[in-house]
Chains A and B, each alone.
Chain A
Amino acid sequence: MTTAAAKIMTQTWQPLCHRDDLVPFSGIAAWIETDEGPAQIAIFYIPVGPNTPGEADHECELFALDHHDPFANANVIARGIVGDLQGEPVVASPIYKQHFRLADGQCLENDDVKLRTWPVGLEGDQVMIQA
C-alpha cells in the first residue's frame, strides 16, 4: 500500500479537504478536476488499528477511488461499507454489494472491472490528492 500511504507531497498535489472532514473507517465523496475532465471520487480513511483514530504523527491510510459504481451506474461508492477480505482493504458497493479493492480499485467479483484510483495523502491536517 505504498502509493496510497504516501506522505511526501509533490507540486502536482492539490488540497481537497480537512482531516476532520474524513470519516474513520468509512468514506466521503469529493469533486475534482482532472486532465480528462471532472471526476467524482470516494475518499476512504483507515486510521491504524480499528479503534484508534490516527494521531497526527500516526501512520494511517487514505485511498481515493472512483465514486461511480459501474454496475449500478450511480455515484455511490463512498457510501459503501469498508472492510477487509483476505487481509486486503475493500469497499462494498451500497447498491449491489460488489467489493472493490481500495489499493487498486479491482472488483473482486469481476476481473474485467476496475475503478480508477488516485494517490492521496495528508499534509498536516490537509488532505491532498494528486490529480
Chain B
Amino acid sequence: MNREAQRLIIIGNGMVGHHLVEQLIERGATAHYAITVFGEERHRAYDRVHLSEYFTGRDADSLALSDVDWYAANGIELRLAEAVTAIDRDAGEVVTAKGRIPYDRLVLATGSYPFVPPIPGSDRDGCLVYRTLDDLDAIRTAAEQASTGVVVGGGLLGLEAANALRGLNLDTAVVEFAPRLMPMQVDSEGGELLREKIEALGVQVHTERATQRIEDGEDATHRMVFQDDKVLEADLIVFSAGIRPRDDLARNSALEMGKRGGVVIDDRCLTSDPAILAVGEVALWNNSIFGLVAPGYQMAKVATDTLLAPFDHIQGESFRGADMSTKLKLLGVDVGAIGDAHGNQTPGARVFRYLDQIKQQYRKLVVSADGRRLVGAMLVGDNGVYDTLLQYYSNGLDLPEEPSSLILPSIEGAPTLGPDALPETATICSCHNVSKGDICATLDTGASDLTTVKGETKASTGCGGCAALLKSVVEHELEARGVAVDHSLCEHFAHTRQGLYDIVRVEGIKTFGELIDKHGNAATHRLGCDICKPAVASILASCFNEPITDAAHIPLQDTNDTFMANMQKNGTYSVVPRVPGGEITPDKLVVLGKVAQKYALYTKVTGGQRIDLFGARLEELPDIWSELLDAGFETGHAYAKSLRTVKSCVGSSWCRYGVQDSVGMAIRLEHRYKGLRSPHKLKFGVSGCTRECAEAQGKDIGVIATEHGWNLYVCGNGGMRPRHAELFATDLDDDRLIQLIDRFLMFYVRTADRLQRTSVWRENLEGGLDYLQEVVIDDRLGIGEELERQMQTVIDTYQCEWADAIDDPEKLKRFRSFVNDSRPDPDIIVTEERGQLRPA
C-alpha cells in the first residue's frame, strides 16, 4: 500500500458499504487511500434484500456479495465482528474494543436497526427481529420449539417475515397498528384485497391492533394484550414495526442530525464535518431517509466521486434523491407502488381505478391535473403492467389518449410499451442505475448476449426486479442490430431442445432419421452430431420409451448408453446395478462380491448409496450382467441421463426420530421413475425427519417426512454449483406427493434445455418458483393430467435395458473386443493398489 496514502475508514459492511468499496476499487481509489472497513456483523457483506432466501435454501456464503478473499485480494483491510463504538473527531480517530484507529476520511454506512416498540414484555425470550443472518438463525432456533408465530407490523418487511414463519411450519398471524396492511404502499381498497389474499393463504391478519403488553401465555409461550383487552397467543414474536437509522455514532460526535434521526448529508454525501461522509439508510437527505438499496447505491457512487475529487479534480454527479417505486411479491401476492401512489402529494392529481374482486386484482393510476403524465400508480394482485407504468412515470412519457387503457384488462389494442418505445435515458435497472443507453453502449462495443451485458453493466444483479425488462431490451436491441438471437441446438437443427420435443410429440416422430429429414438443416450428410443425437435420443425415450439398444436408436447414444455402462479412462467400463433406496439384502451383497471377485473388478461404495464395480472389459459386460440379472439385480442407469438414485435415511423403521417410512418411500419413488430419460440426470433424496440424514435438500427432488406427511423440495444440486432445493409443497400424503413429482418431472422433461439440471432450469425459468408452483400445484396451464398421463406411459413401458438386451444376440454382437478376433484389448494394463486393481 502506498505510504503517502490517506487513511479511509468505512464503518459498516452492509449492502451500501460494500457497494462503496466496489465503486472505489473500480475507480482506482486504492492508489490514494489505505482503506479499512469495520463490520459489526460476523459475516462479510451479504444480500440483505434476499435475506429470506436463507430460509429457503441459501446460506451465508451464497448470499455473500463477494468472494471470501476479495477484500484482501484488493488490498483492503476488512475487520469483521468489530463495531466502532465512538468517533473522536478532534483526534481524527475511531474507537473500537480493540483500540483507536486514525482516519483522514470517514464514511458512515451503518444502515438501520429494526424498531421494537417499547411495550412491556417486548424484551422477553422469543421476541425477535428480522434484519440480519444472526436474527434469522435465532428465529430458526426458536421455531424448532414453537408451533405458532406472530409478526408485529404489516408492512413490507413484516409480510416477508410472516412468509418466513409460515415456511418454518408455524401457524402465523400478522398484527398491524394501522387499519390496513402495507399502509405506506396501498390504499384502503388495495389493503382490503391484500388482506383477503393473505388470509386465504392461512395467515391471520389483525389490523387496528395496538399491543399494550406481552406476558406469559396459557396455551403458548407469550400472550399479547391489545388496547381493547383482546389477546393473541404465540410461541414466537417477530417485531417488524419499521426501521430507524443507526446514527448514534454521529449523534455522540455532534454531527448535524435530522429531527427524527438520520445523519444529515448534502448532495455530495458530506455530513456537517467535511472529513466525514454518510451513505445508505443511515443518511438523511433533504429530510428523507431512503429505505431501499437502489438509492443507497446511488449515494455510494456519489460518495466515490466525492472521495476522489481531490485527486481527479472531477466534480462528479450529485445525489438528487431517488425513486422509491417498488414491486414485490409477498406471500405470493404481487404488490407494486410507483411514485405518488396515494395521489396526495400532487395538487390536482386525478385517479383511475380498476378493481376485479373475482380475480382479486386492483390497479390504480394517478395522473397529473392535465392528464398527460403519470405521477403514481398502485397495483395489488398482478404486477403485469408495473414495468410499463414505471417507464411512463420515470421517463415522463406522454400518456396515451385513454390512460385507463393501461390498467383495464386486455382490451384490444391496449398500448404496450415495447422496448423500442423507451428513450435512451430510460432507467432499466434502478439498483445499478443502468439506462437503456448504457445497455446499447455495451452492445455496440461487442457484447452479444444477456450474460455479457449483465456482467458489464451489473444490470439485474441487485434486487432482480428488472430481469424481464432487461431481457426484452437486450433481445430487441440485438435484433435491431441484425444479430439473430440464435437458439439452435446445433448446426443440424434450428430448434431448441424444447422446440424439438414439441415437434416429436405433436407429429409422433419416432426416429432420428425422420426428424432430421423433416426438420433438420439440409447439409450434405445430415448425420447429426454428438450434440443433437443424444439430445434427440433422450427426447424420443422420454416420449416413447423404446429400448435405446434398438437398431434405430443405437447410433444416437453416447458410448455409455450404447454399452449400458460407464466408460472409464482406460476404455473399460464400470457396472452399477440399481440398489433402490440404498437398501440391499445380505444375499445380494454376497452376489456383488462374488461377481466382483470373479471378474477382478475394483469395488467401491458410491456417493449415491450403491456399489460400483470398475474395470469391466467391453466383452465381459454381458456375462457380468447375466449373473447380476439372475440374482435379481437390474440396471442402475448410472450411464444415462435419467434417474440415478433415491438416497434414503433409515427412517421410522429403525431411527428413534423418524416420523415416516423414508426407505419405503425412497424405494417406491426409485421404482416409479427409474428409466425416465430426461434432459440431465436426476437425483432424489428422502429423509425420515428434519434432521435430514439423506441430504434431500441437495437433490433435484427432495422429500422430507413431517408429522403429517411429506414436504417436497425441488431443484437442489450438489456438484459444481451447489444449490439448496426450495420448499415446494408441504404436508403431502403419499398420492399427492407422487402426483406433484409426476407433473414436476414431466414439465422439466418438456421444457428444459439439453444437459440442464433442474437447478439451472429453475434459475432460468421466467416466473421462478411461483410460476412452477402455479403450473404444478394449481395446474394453471391445465396440463396437469396430460403430464401425469405421459409419466404413466413411461412407467408402463419400463423395462430393464440389460434384461432386454441380454437375450438378443443381435444386440450383444457389439460387445466384442474385435469383430474379427476374440483376444481382449492387450493395451488395458492394470496394477494393484490397496488389494484391488486399477488402471496402470
Tell me whether A83 and B819 are in contact (CB under 8 A): no
A95 to B566, CA, bound (A): 10
B504-539 Cβ-contact flags toward A at 8 Å (1 or 0): 000000011110110000011111111011100000
Asked, given contacts A81-B533, A83-B527, A84-B526, whether A26 binds B555 with beta carbons under 8 Å apart, the answer is yes
Chain A residues whose C-beta falls within 8 Å of the C-beta of B555 in the assembled complex: 23-26, 81-82
A111-127 Cβ-contact flags toward B at 8 Å (1 or 0): 00000000000000000
A29 within 8 A of B: yes
A65 within 8 A of B: no
B387 within 8 A of A: no
A85 within 8 A of B: yes
A38 to B698, CA, bound (A): 50
Which positions 25-69 of chain A face chain B at CB distance < 8 Å? 25-26, 28-32, 40, 43, 46, 49-51, 68
Tell me whether B530 and A92 are in contact (CB under 8 A): yes
- Which A-chain residue is minimally distant from B529 (CB atoms)? A83
Chain B residues whose C-beta falls within 8 Å of the C-beta of A80 in the assembled complex: 530, 559
Which positions 91-107 of chain A face chain B at CB distance < 8 Å? 92, 94-95, 97, 99
Chain B residues whose C-beta falls within 8 Å of the C-beta of A74 in the assembled complex: 569-571, 827
A61 to B821, CA, bound (A): 23
Which positions 2-25 of chain A face chain B at CB distance < 8 Å? 16-17, 21, 23-25
A31 to B526, CA, bound (A): 30
- Which B-chain residue is minimally distant from A87 (CB atoms)? B524
- Which A-chain residue is minimally distant from B537 (CB atoms)? A81
B528 interface neighbour in A28, A40, A50, A68, Cβ under 8 Å:
A50
Chain A residues whose C-beta falls within 8 Å of the C-beta of B530 in the assembled complex: 80-81, 83, 92, 97, 99
B558 within 8 A of A: yes
Chain A residues whose C-beta falls within 8 Å of the C-beta of B524 in the assembled complex: 84, 87
A75 to B619, CA, bound (A): 14
B435 within 8 A of A: no
Interface centre among A83, A85, A88 (most CB of B within 10 A): A83
Asked, given contacts A23-B814, A30-B821, whether A84 binds B511 with beta carbons under 8 Å apart, the answer is no
B567 within 8 A of A: yes
B354 within 8 A of A: no
Which positions 774-827 of chain B face chain A at CB distance < 8 Å? 813-814, 816-821, 823, 825, 827
B12-48 Cβ-contact flags toward A at 8 Å (1 or 0): 0000000000000000000000000000000000000
Chain B residues whose C-beta falls within 8 Å of the C-beta of A99 in the assembled complex: 530
A88 to B527, CA, bound (A): 10
**Interface size of A by Cβ–Cβ distance < 8 Å?**
40
Chain B residues whose C-beta falls within 8 Å of the C-beta of A90 in the assembled complex: 529
Chain A residues whose C-beta falls within 8 Å of the C-beta of B814 in the assembled complex: 23, 28
A29 to B503, CA, bound (A): 36
A43 to B523, CA, bound (A): 23
B571 interface neighbour in A25, A75, A85, Cβ under 8 Å:
A75
A28 to B619, CA, bound (A): 13
Asked, given contacts A72-B569, A74-B571, A83-B533, whether A30 binds B819 with beta carbons under 8 Å apart, the answer is yes
Least Cβ–Cβ distance between B371 and chain A, in angstroms: 60
A88 to B529, CA, bound (A): 11
B554 within 8 A of A: yes
B484 within 8 A of A: no
**Interface size of B by Cβ–Cβ distance < 8 Å?**
43
Chain B residues whose C-beta falls within 8 Å of the C-beta of A32 in the assembled complex: 820
Tell me whether A75 and B827 are in contact (CB under 8 A): yes
A17 to B820, CA, bound (A): 6
Tell me whether A79 and B567 are in contact (CB under 8 A): yes
Tell me whether A28 and B819 are in contact (CB under 8 A): yes
- Which A-chain residue is minimally distant from B552 (CB atoms)? A51
Chain A residues whose C-beta falls within 8 Å of the C-beta of B823 in the assembled complex: 31
A116 to B559, CA, bound (A): 22
Chain A residues whose C-beta falls within 8 Å of the C-beta of B532 in the assembled complex: 83
Tell me whether A24 and B820 are in contact (CB under 8 A): no
Chain B residues whose C-beta falls within 8 Å of the C-beta of A86 in the assembled complex: 491, 523
B551 within 8 A of A: yes
A83 interface neighbour in B514, B528, B825, B827, Cβ under 8 Å:
B528
Tell me whether B529 and A85 are in contact (CB under 8 A): yes
- Which A-chain residue is minimally distant from B534 (CB atoms)? A81
Chain A residues whose C-beta falls within 8 Å of the C-beta of B558 in the assembled complex: 81, 94
Chain B residues whose C-beta falls within 8 Å of the C-beta of A31 in the assembled complex: 818, 820-821, 823
Tell me whether B517 and A76 are in contact (CB under 8 A): no
A100 to B523, CA, bound (A): 18
- Which B-chain residue is minimally distant from A46 (CB atoms)? B527
Tell me whether B819 and A76 are in contact (CB under 8 A): no
Chain A residues whose C-beta falls within 8 Å of the C-beta of B525 in the assembled complex: 46, 50, 84, 87-89
A50 to B817, CA, bound (A): 26
Least Cβ–Cβ distance between A33 and chain B, in angstroms: 10
Least Cβ–Cβ distance between A94 and chain B, in angstroms: 4
Tell me whether A50 and B513 are in contact (CB under 8 A): yes
B562 within 8 A of A: yes
Chain A residues whose C-beta falls within 8 Å of the C-beta of B514 in the assembled complex: 51
Asked, given contacts A80-B559, A87-B524, whether A17 binds B819 with beta carbons under 8 Å apart, the answer is yes
Chain B residues whose C-beta falls within 8 Å of the C-beta of A88 in the assembled complex: 525
B239 within 8 A of A: no
Tell me whether B559 and A50 are in contact (CB under 8 A): no
Chain A residues whose C-beta falls within 8 Å of the C-beta of B571 in the assembled complex: 72, 74-76, 95
Tell me whether B827 and A23 are in contact (CB under 8 A): no
Chain A residues whose C-beta falls within 8 Å of the C-beta of B527 in the assembled complex: 25, 46, 50, 82-84, 89
Chain B residues with a Cβ under 8 A of chain A: 491, 511-514, 516-517, 523-530, 532-534, 551, 554-560, 562-563, 567, 569-571, 813-814, 816-821, 823, 825, 827
Chain A residues with a Cβ under 8 A of chain B: 16-17, 21, 23-26, 28-32, 40, 43, 46, 49-51, 68, 72, 74-76, 79-90, 92, 94-95, 97, 99
For the complex with contacts A51-B517, A89-B525, 12 further pairs of A-B residues with Cβ separation under 8 Å are A16-B819, A26-B555, A30-B818, A40-B818, A50-B528, A74-B570, A74-B827, A83-B527, A83-B533, A88-B525, A89-B527, A90-B529
Listed from nearest, the 3 A-B pairs whose CB atoms lie closest are A51-B513, A83-B529, A25-B555
Return 5 A-B CB contacts under 8 Å, by A number: A51-B513, A81-B530, A81-B556, A92-B530, A94-B559
